Amino acid sequence: MDISYGTDYERFRAEVRSFLAKHAVDAPSNQRDYRSAKAVAWQRKLLELGYTSRTVPKRYGGYGAEPDILISRILADEFAAAKATAGFGGQGIAMLIPTLLELGTEEQRQSIIPPTLLGEMLWCQGYSEPNAGSDLASLKTNAYLDGDEWVINGSKIWTSSAHIADWMFCLVRTEPDAPKHDGISFLLFSMDTPGIEVRPLVDMTENKYFNEVFFTDVRVPAGQIVGKRGQGWQVANTILGHERELLGDPNAALTRLNGVIDLMRTETIDGRRVIDMPVFRDRLMRIQGRVMAMRFNDLRLLSAKLNQQSAPLARMIVKLQGTELRHELEKLAIDVMGEFGLGYDDNEYLRGEGLWQWNYMFYLGLIIGGGTSQIQKNIISERGLGMPKEPKVAPTAGAM
């Protein structure tokens, strides 16, 4: 066991750190800003240095480096420590580009990857439907081929960023007679295509990140498919696992934990600091213990990936534990603030820009989204522990 990174990697870390010490002021303050001149200039700079989308080949606008998880980790750690946005994220960059690099055609890669990296092509993900949430593979939005075009009808829900996205990658049923997992295809299309209607959904944080999207005879060129007909489920699954790992980010949890400690040092009740109150101290230390356990679990996963070892259970529990932990952590901060913790939006007594309240609710959304905690427990027990599935219930007469 040796948890040091070694001198070559530490040299890289020093480079990144000195870049950030000089240039972090050039980073846009809003992580979801893909459009301002400042945000685009920052993204171009990071792409040029290989500090973001580092492994995307040069011919598609990336840096062309070999995958190196220690480099990725150093970049994540240092940008987090400097509180600087680590380049564009979003579903196009995090999910679609890796998918195209693996399964896309050369033409798709050339036309899609470069503008996506520069924020000129923003993506949304059309997966969930009103009746296909946890049981995503039962989705019903359908497409049939008419000449050299797909014709899409149906609707999607929980579609983040659909109201600002330029394009969508979407799961649709193209083989109605095939078993449910084998009848899905993965299509790409512009959100400007006639027949698409986007209706924002206001969530409990009062934000409009999610949308409902309706398709009425939406016509899409036949070539805008990734993988073959009926292979969409496998295409989507190459990246879903990636999303689940992101949701448990222990670096973010550590940053927030340090924020709670600061808050407990400054908030007072009857003039007494909250950090000096035993009940609050114990809650803080309990959460710290859990954050530590998840950080070490993450270190184990990093090492396992690096050394080609497997730790399937350690990986499967990350989404469940990570999101539940963050929800608890943000809740502690609200209890530390008491009535101040009720303030929202433009309240003049907001602490930390009201992010505690916002995250507390947002993480409840993440507990539910991306595979609910209950689905996670099914995955852990069935795939991880080899426990039998629930027996299928025979459809009752008249229900079908």
Partner 1 sequence: MDFGLSSDQVALQDSVDRYLNERVGLDQIRLFADGSDYREIWQGLTDLGVTSLLLPEDQGGIGLTLLDAALVAEILGRYVAPSPFIGSAVIAPQALQHVDDTIAAPYLSRLVDGGITAGIAFSELAGRRGDAGVQAIGNKLSGKSLFVLDPLAELQLVAATDGALYLVEAGAPGLQQLVHTTIDRTRISGELRYDNTPATPVTDDADTVAGLLDAARVMLVADTLGAAQHMLDAAVAYAKERKQFDRVVGSFQAVKHLCAEMTAELEPCRAMMWYAAYALDELPEEASITASQAKAHISEVGTFVARTATEVHGGIGFTDLLGLHYWFKRIGFNRQALGAPESLREQAAVLQGL
Q: Which residues bind partner 1 (CB under 8 A)?
A: 1-6, 9, 70, 261, 275, 278, 281-282, 284-286, 288-290, 292-294, 296-297, 299-300, 302-304, 306-307, 309, 313-314, 317, 320-321, 374, 376-378, 380-382, 384-391
CB-CB contact of 245 with 95 (8 Å)? no
CB of 379 to partner 1, least distance (A): 8
Q: Report the residue number, 284 or 337, with the smaller CB distance to partner 1.
A: 284
Q: Report the residue number, 319 or 351, with the smaller CB distance to partner 1.
A: 319
Q: What DSSP state is assigned to residue 31?
A: T
CB of 135 to partner 1, least distance (A): 14
Q: Note the Cα 354 to chain centre separation in Å.
A: 22
What are the b/e assignments for 92-102, b being 16+ CB within 10 Å?
A: bbbbbbbbbee
Q: Going by DSSP bridges, is the β-strand pair 184-190/196-201 parallel, antiparallel, or unpaired?
A: unpaired
> What long-range pairs does 369-372 form, CB within 8 A, spacing at least 24?
369/158, 370/240, 370/243, 370/244, 370/247, 370/319, 371/134, 371/240, 371/244, 371/319, 372/133, 372/134
Q: Report the residue number, 14 or 306, with the smaller CB distance to partner 1.
A: 306
CB of 298 to partner 1, least distance (A): 8
Q: Report the residue number, 307 or 396, with the smaller CB distance to partner 1.
A: 307
> Tokens 């580092």 label which residue?
54
Q: Report the residue number, 213 or 364, with the smaller CB distance to partner 1.
A: 364
CB of 361 to partner 1, least distance (A): 23
Rounded Cα distance, 167 and 74, in Å:
32
Q: Which of 48, 40, 89, 88 is nearest to 65 (CA)?
A: 48
CB of 94 to partner 1, least distance (A): 24
Q: First vs last Cα of the chain: how many Å apart?
A: 57
Sign of the alpha-carbon dihedral angle for 257, 259, 260, 262? positive
Q: Report the residue number, 105 or 266, with the smaller CB distance to partner 1.
A: 266
Residues marked as catalytic: 243
CB of 140 to partner 1, least distance (A): 25
